[in-house]
Structure 1
Amino acid sequence: MLTVAHSVPKTPEHEETIHKAQYNVARAYFMGFGAPSSEDDGRRWLDRAAADGTRRGSVKAQTMLAMLFARRDTLDLEKSFHWHSEATGNGSLESQGALGVMYLYGLGVRRDLVAARLCLTQAARRGNIYATGQLALFYYRFRFYQHAVRFGTHLARFEAADVAELARQSECLPGYVRRGLATGCYVLSRCQLLGQGGLAADGERGRLLGGRAAELDAATADRLQRLFVNGPWSCASYPDLGVEV
């Protein structure tokens, strides 16, 4: 992999292959696979793989850089937004969902509900489960309960056993797939308990859906429960927004 990563490109296709190899080298250093774990070396190779956000760069490297800048120890939300924007422009489904959340809560960019809804909707149509869960929550928050029920019902069709395949199909991280499914189940649970969005109030089914949300991702279910009970709807009260703040 290092041989490819160090090579000089002779064609555009060769250049793309080199950047993909550089991304794999970066991951190897970050994770300590085949090389001593080194975040400094991983970051150096990640910068090379991202290729300043060009289309021939590794899109996965661009998304990974965005997530790196959303970590608490390397936090820079403006840079995170920049790299998610670059990756989205180059086709990253995972970054498109994260970008919608950043617009929704004003993380690294001015809050823009129109841009947020557009990004989340497009990402959901392309199969981003986390974005679909965020859409269900978005519509519930603004009392468009029928839309919330529609997206929640779509996500409630899946089980924990489906997570790996959904992650593979969308090339999104399994952890975020779980959070998306849990969010959808929780929102649908609220609608079922309270008889919203055209659903008849059904306490038993509502509790079952809430239990499924907890089974899929206990931290997300707990966070949503506290959010619905205590509020307010703010980044501070709901920090897990597709970026680690």
Structure 2
Amino acid sequence: MSPPALQFEDVCFAYNGAPVLEGVSFSLPAGALLGVLGPNGAGKTTLARLAMGRLTPTSGRVLVAGRDPRKAAGRIGYVPQFMTLTQGFPVKVVDLVALGALPAGLAGWLKGGDAAGRRRRALEALEAVELADLADRPVAELSGGQRQRVLIARALVGDPELLILDEPTANIDPAGKSCIVDLLDGLAERRTVVLISHDLTVTVPHITAVAAVNRRVLFRPEPRLDQEMLELIYGLHRHDCPMDSFIHHLVERQPTLGRRHGDSAGA
């Protein structure tokens, strides 16, 4: 039996003694598409960095396919929330994507190697995100949604088993957001995907599990937000206010995330 794609075992993490995540435990099977939801500053990005081995837990442990994340780096693809480029920086789309094939990033690029092979793999990744026709265009000329798809292509170059995306639809117009969501649904057919967002409206049709994050983590191995999860994200309201009605509507009227019209209910 293969190990879980991602596993947290009683993980705690603190910055300079201030707790950020406490007692995090969950097991994500291979092939799952996990939606990670929570407000800004709740610890979602910290959770991602722990999964990638960029941070070390204060206590507990994280495993990727049964291994320490630092030893499984080649199996993990990561898409950051933002891509910042110096105005006029003359990098082409295909060259930026090809950097994802090098464990050493730019340093590896400068050492040379199989440039033709890197370009071929970059073009294949751009084809997967439907941007192959823009391969030789400067990245600075792309729209926000196109740049985000370039970042996804860069993460795909190494054909990762685990793909982590941090707020992939942030600051993108509605049309671009819809395109990204459709793209992610297709990518999840071949790998385990962790999709991080603060926006409950960002759902992917085939989400299989949900985690609510706000210092603690509540994990459900099904595409359903329950009352406890929504209270963790938004807080518990003892008095009558619009937020109470909003939470009630989500739980009672929209019990599952990511189901297409006509799909049956249930886990």
TM-score by length of 2: 0.29
Which structure has more relative contact order (CA 8 Å, sep 6+)? It is 2
Query: Which of the two has greater strand per residue?
Result: 2
TM-score by length of 1: 0.31
